[in-house]
Structure 1
């Protein structure tokens, strides 16, 4: 498993200033849609694939007593989105929110359907954080989901749907919306587990061999946690809005499961805050280690300087070269260095300097300066 890299941002084409509400703006790098229809009831599951609205309409005609989950992966087809909106009588503002993939998690209620937005956050194979939008429209006996990429994120839900066990085939489209949303929330735990492992690894590196890459890696993890925090807070509010809703599409049975999803998102939020504190403490500890290391270096340099200052002073005095005797007149110069011409004066000066240095080292050692280096 590679290290976590920087956040990968997808191209978002926002609404132009003054543009009419409900305008659909498709991102330049949006993918062509892949449509998969799952029509199910208690007895059977019927699947169909395609790229056009026709596959949906044909499935509706063939399976009249089924609940339908229409999964659309890829949004680069404005006509398809508009045709679905026309056929299902969806408000243009909802279609705009589906295509403009910068929405925050939310829950909107309309006359005969509800609209939900969730953020799909995961690490790709390159270790980049991907933050994509997942939108769902829930109508009686119908749920239609929109995803930005062709990646598969709901293998577990599809396996349960094929097995036909539990309430997934009988509890209606509201339960399917819960199952998809809960699956996305579960991926947050997987993502946070990897972030926790990365934080442990960074912390071990700091204790064994700290370098400046620790601060960069930790800051990247902290930035990832900030993005997750921006996602999970509105996600909590969204689930809370669903729980307080009286819409018949969200049955009491589904609300029981949603309470569990609400508990999960609270756990995610707690983990994010804990990991943010750990990341901040790692950065603070690293800066403290760097500061302490600099203090130790400065202390060593200070001790060396203090030792050599008196030696330099002695050398400076005897380097002034004021002669005792005038070499031209052989006249004795008063108050000049009498020891300049002393026998073995050089040896005596060096010996005195060495003695001064030894005395200083002994004094510093007794004060415990060397033991704290």
Structure 2
């Protein structure tokens, strides 16, 4: 996996001190695209548009169906407000839909429930992204809100059209579970990519450790931190749904939610283990760098020790003392070796002998074999 060191983050879009229920949308929010799927045990009908009229027409066209209103893009305040008026939704719920920095949660209201999830995935540039998924569940209605136009729930649409299992007959609560389960399955895909990246990183570490390993390890660690930040509240949210007394979350749906709860536990365990591996890779890299530096310092120390006596001898005989004074008299104790015959080759031979003895001693001690 070729990981980049960029993360797209959900930013707080409101203002400090805003009145509760104020709808403040991100500046780059996309215009809504609406698809309404109306279904029962016998059929599925769908229609699409960009305003609330497509919803109203579908309600009139299919009065005895369950309706999944799928909205991609939240860049239309009027649409959100009209949906709130049509279905009598609390303004605090509408605010949570508009402010896309929400953590996964589950709230119960009179006649409906509200849930949010975080969608974690890698985009085309292999940058990890986090976006919000929100769902309102009422009698025979589920409305979902996504920030972008990605077709990540096509598999659920395919299941709905095929009519297999309980997806058409178990009510909107089951549809909510199916969508959240798809999001959780996407977490496994992200973790699989991260696992492959960790394997590659370990192979690179053993083959040739360079500083890019440290940067890539930190990038993966940030991705795992993001996974942990969404998986823990996602688990708590599903637990709240299991314990809910709302009639919209039926006993049949709770059975499936328990399976999703187990998946969240699994994701948390894998995330924590990958995080430990990432930390160990970074520690191992730093240890290898430290050991390599120690080996380099050992080599330099051996070289310095070898040349130290040679430098001492060269320094001694490099001092420019005169053998005779200006009257030709011999000055006592002023380096008589400077005037000896063959003094230079003798001095060089002594230097070579000293270096050879040192090399023999270091080899006998096994210093070179440990480099």
Q: Pairwise mapping of residues 20-31 of structure 1 onto structure 2 (< 5 A)? A: 20-31=19-30
Aligned counterpart, 1:109: 108
Paired residues of 1:13 and 1:25 also in contact (CA < 8 A): no
Are 2:111 and 1:133 aligned? no
Hey, what's the Cα distance between the residues in 2 that align with 1:256 and 1:335?
103
In structure 1, stretches of 5+ residues that fail to align are: none
Aligned counterpart, 2:216: 217
Hey, what's the Cα distance between the residues in 2 that align with 1:282 and 1:13?
34
CA RMSD of the aligned region, Å?
1.0
Hey, what's the Cα distance between the residues in 1 that align with 2:297 and 2:231?
46
Partner deviation per Cα, 1:52-76 (whole Å, 9 max, x = no partner): 1010011001111110000000000
Aligned counterpart, 1:352: 350
Paired residues of 2:3 and 2:219 also in contact (CA < 8 A): no
Aligned counterpart, 1:188: 187
Partner deviation per Cα, 1:236-258 (whole Å, 9 max, x = no partner): 11011111111110011100000
In structure 2, stretches of 5+ residues that fail to align are: none
1:8 Cα deviation after fit: 1.8
Paired residues of 1:236 and 1:262 also in contact (CA < 8 A): yes
Aligned counterpart, 2:229: 230
Hey, what's the Cα distance between the residues in 2 that align with 1:43 and 1:270?
41
Aligned counterpart, 1:338: 336
Match of 1:268, SS state, is helix
Hey, what's the Cα distance between the residues in 2 that align with 1:172 and 1:224?
35
1:339 Cα deviation after fit: 1.3
Match of 2:34, SS state, is strand
Partner deviation per Cα, 1:177-218 (whole Å, 9 max, x = no partner): 000000000000000000000111111111112111111011
Aligned counterpart, 2:289: 290
1:13 Cα deviation after fit: 5.0
Match of 2:23, SS state, is coil
TM-score (structure 2 length as normaliser):
0.98
Partner deviation per Cα, 1:91-137 (whole Å, 9 max, x = no partner): 00000000000000000000100000000110011001110000000
1:78 Cα deviation after fit: 0.1
Paired residues of 1:136 and 1:177 also in contact (CA < 8 A): yes
1:5 Cα deviation after fit: 4.1
Match of 1:118, SS state, is strand
Hey, what's the Cα distance between the residues in 1 that align with 2:5 and 2:222?
11
Aligned counterpart, 1:320: 319
Q: Pairwise mapping of residues 59-98 of structure 1 onto structure 2 (< 5 A)? A: 59-98=58-97
